Chains A and B, each alone.
Chain A
Amino acid sequence: MNYFPDEVIEHVFDFVASHKDRNSISLVCKSWHKIERFSRKNVFIGNCYAINPERLIGRFPCLKSLTLKGKPHFADFNLVPHEWGGFVLPWIEALARSRVGLEELRLKRMVVTDESLELLSRSFANFKSLVLVSCEGFTTDGLASIAANCRQLRELDLQENEIDDHRGQWLNCFPDSCTTLISLNFACLKGETNVAALERLVARSPNLKSLKLNRAVPLDALARLMTCAPQLVDLGVGSYENEPDPESFVKLMTAIEKCISLRSLSGFLEVAPLCLPAFYPICQNLISLNLSYAAEIQGNHLIKLIQLCKRLQRLWILDSIGDKGLAVVAATCKELQELRVFPSDVHGEEDNNAAVTEVGLVAISAGCPKLHSILYFCKQMTNAALIAVAKNCPNFIRFRLCILEPHKPDHITSQSLDEGFGAIVQACKGLRRLSVSGLLTDQVFLYIGMYAEQLEMLSIAFAGDTDKGMLYVLNGCKKMRKLEIRDSPFGNAALLADVGRYETMRSLWMSSCEVTLGGCKRLAQNSPRLNVEIINENENNRMEQNEEDEREKVDKLYLYRTMVGTRKDAPPYVRIL
């Protein structure tokens, strides 16, 4: 390869897409490092505090697409207080200053302000794609800047963000000359939508493939939108009247019938089951169906719909589908690859008899040979079921099981679920992500350490007996990148056993465990390339330095490797050792 001119090598590198592979290429030799640097277009930063914008731009000056992740995963469950960090503004400022030709920005769990959106919209003439997932801190005013100023905008995808809806006219801010939209998702906006402006926008966007509406877009508008955009591939339905009059229903059905390219359906944020039949004509084409927000679609309505979706590969559903419904899925959806079953009763108040159990899980595993990814909330589980699942589906890449009641044992034998999860990790040699739950002892971690060789992410809650548990995992799972633990009896011995290990991982989270301040301090002592953050919101616990009790347990510990030392934007209750 050294006899080829750089341009040829660069051309070859163009075919190498994955970040991992490109990182490997850059390590081969200096010349390759240089060529790779300047030709890198897509950069993925899994932890925004592992590096700073200046160094990033220094190394990859020609980058066009940047993905940034901010808060740790457990922030999704309110375990990370607000103001913790993950601010995107400094990144946008740095990119703007250095005149990087940014075209795409994808953010997850970051704090985004209207100011940063405004700056983003004005600084990059070729900006094409903005994807925000689980972000917060901005309003529809920020969206208005993006709409108004990004002349080349192709994608605006807002997923599950907390957005302050000022009910302005942000949709009106797309200039008449904007005809390049390919994807528009504003399902998470809570306020009124200017439906007329939306219709005009859709009418002038012939390339629109993905459209996801919010609650405020009613049924008759939906029919008109679909008539305008029969080329849609991905549709998120907004609200749905309770009893559509026959005329509206027919209009909708006619419009839907024409959408022969539709492959993905979601939304149904407010639904009347009686409207579902309008979608029957295209069900046979669907590969992705997300009904996880539609608590009102249950029983027969749901089953009828699913029975038509024979090509489904991805299904997100609520547990109100029940074991019976899952049996229908197992019998119908032979192409199913990914299943997520969410709890419909999130506050734990109802004694929900319709929820799913181990029976449904086994049925799915038996009926869907291509299943590789599952997220399953249920109220009970057995070892026998998990062993059966492992036998049926040795191809799992992601296996996340959440038994709603912590510490719950096998409901038939009253034993721990160690053997069940053990069977999963032993059979699924390609397992990369695992979440465990129910009654678990150190034994399950012995199994995980022994068998889960490809495991990259492990989530532990209310499990284990002693430090040995955590040690089995740290010693065994060589490919571990993210380890998150809550409410488990792991302490300093496990934490400190192999401090160097953490530099091979992205991050470690431990909350409500047994680690103490002293242990964390010791950990931080000789680790300049680790940020050890102690998050302690309780005012009373904040003592003066000299009064500190090193034996005091740490509420939340978040540590991560970094090349740029301590961050400067941490709030007062975050202590970086």
Chain B
Amino acid sequence: MEKVDVYDELVNLKATELRLGLPGTEETVSCGKSNKRALLDDTEKEIESTGKNETASPPKAQIVGWPPVRSYRKNNIQTKKNESEGQGNYVKVSMDGAPYLRKIDLTMYKQYPELMKSLENMFKFSVGEYFEREGYKGSDFVPTYEDKDGDWMLVGDVPWEMFVSSCKRLRIMKGSEVKGLGSGV
């Protein structure tokens, strides 16, 4: 008899409880490793939300593992550029020694020389000449950028389109740090 009672207890408690509302909404913290991709997602959300207007509906509660899409796919889906809204591809530009950062729209340029000219005008400096092997020669300043993987790369090495799609921010390096990139000074 005792066994039955224990069983009843196990069974009766919540067997017919109706759940209202989305189950799992308390658990909005995503589990699993906090890898770089997760952080990147947060940054992307930031950029998106500052771009949207106020009347947009609030983001839905994020349910862990929903929709059921493989995390690999979630991390690698190419986000579409919203051409109709003309949002462009704005990246921050910092220059060593400058008091504040600027932002430029990479989609306004068709190739590297245009970009360089614009940067030179913006920060009043000169970037020297680009050589495939040695990098930039003839100036204390070297343009670098942070790519999707978080690495700092020399501007000019990869095809323009590849640069535009992988550039997350620009930094114009100056002085002693520059030697490491083979500026040939």
Residues on A close to B: CB < 8 A?
74, 76-79, 81-82, 134, 160-162, 188, 190-191, 218, 239, 241-243, 269-272, 292-296, 298, 318, 320, 342-344, 346-349, 351, 377, 402, 404, 406-407, 435, 459, 461-462, 465-467, 486-487, 489, 491-493, 496, 512, 514, 516, 518-519, 522, 537, 550-551, 553
How many residues belonging to B are interface residues under a CB distance threshold of 8 Å?
Answer: 51
The answer, yes or no, to whether B64 is at the interface (CB within 8 Å) is yes
The answer, yes or no, to whether B62 is at the interface (CB within 8 Å) is yes
Report B47 CB to chain A, min CB distance, Å.
12
A-B contacts, 14 listed (Cβ < 8 Å): A77-B64, A77-B69, A78-B65, A160-B72, A160-B73, A270-B162, A296-B78, A347-B45, A349-B59, A402-B67, A404-B67, A487-B23, A489-B17, A551-B10
In the bound complex, residues from chain A placing their C-beta under 8 Å from that of B7 are 522
In the complex, the number of residue pairs spanning A and B with C-beta atoms less than 8 Å apart equals: 150
In the bound complex, residues from chain B placing their C-beta under 8 Å from that of A270 are 78, 162, 165
Known: A243-B161, A294-B78, A298-B80. Is A81-B32 also a contact (CB below 8 A)? yes
Contact A349–B45 (Cβ < 8 Å): yes
In the bound complex, residues from chain A placing their C-beta under 8 Å from that of B71 are 76-78
Instruction: Report the bound CA distance from A318 to B74 in whole Å.
Output: 12
Report A70 CB to chain B, min CB distance, Å.
15
Contact A77–B14 (Cβ < 8 Å): no
The answer, yes or no, to whether B57 is at the interface (CB within 8 Å) is yes
Instruction: Report the bound CA distance from A85 to B75 in whole Å.
Output: 22
Report A362 CB to chain B, min CB distance, Å.
21
The answer, yes or no, to whether B97 is at the interface (CB within 8 Å) is no
Instruction: Report the bound CA distance from A550 to B13 in whole Å.
Output: 12
Contact B65–A79 (Cβ < 8 Å): yes
In the bound complex, residues from chain A placing their C-beta under 8 Å from that of B16 are 465-466
Known: A462-B23, A465-B18, A512-B24. Is A293-B76 also a contact (CB below 8 A)? yes
B164's contact among A134, A242, A459, A486, by CB below 8 Å, is which? A242
In the bound complex, residues from chain A placing their C-beta under 8 Å from that of B41 are 347
Contact B161–A242 (Cβ < 8 Å): yes
| Interface residue SS majority, chain A | loop
Contact B19–A489 (Cβ < 8 Å): yes
B159's contact among A241, A349, A435, A514, by CB below 8 Å, is which? A241
Report B82 CB to chain A, min CB distance, Å.
9
Name A269's closest neighbour in chain B (CB-CB): B78
Name A404's closest neighbour in chain B (CB-CB): B67
In the bound complex, residues from chain B placing their C-beta under 8 Å from that of A342 are 69, 73
Within 8 A of A (CB), among B4-23: 6-7, 9-11, 13-19, 22-23
Instruction: Report the bound CA distance from A188 to B71 in whole Å.
Output: 13
A348's contact among B18, B60, B159, by CB below 8 Å, is which? B60
The answer, yes or no, to whether B48 is at the interface (CB within 8 Å) is yes
In the bound complex, residues from chain B placing their C-beta under 8 Å from that of A518 are 6, 9-10
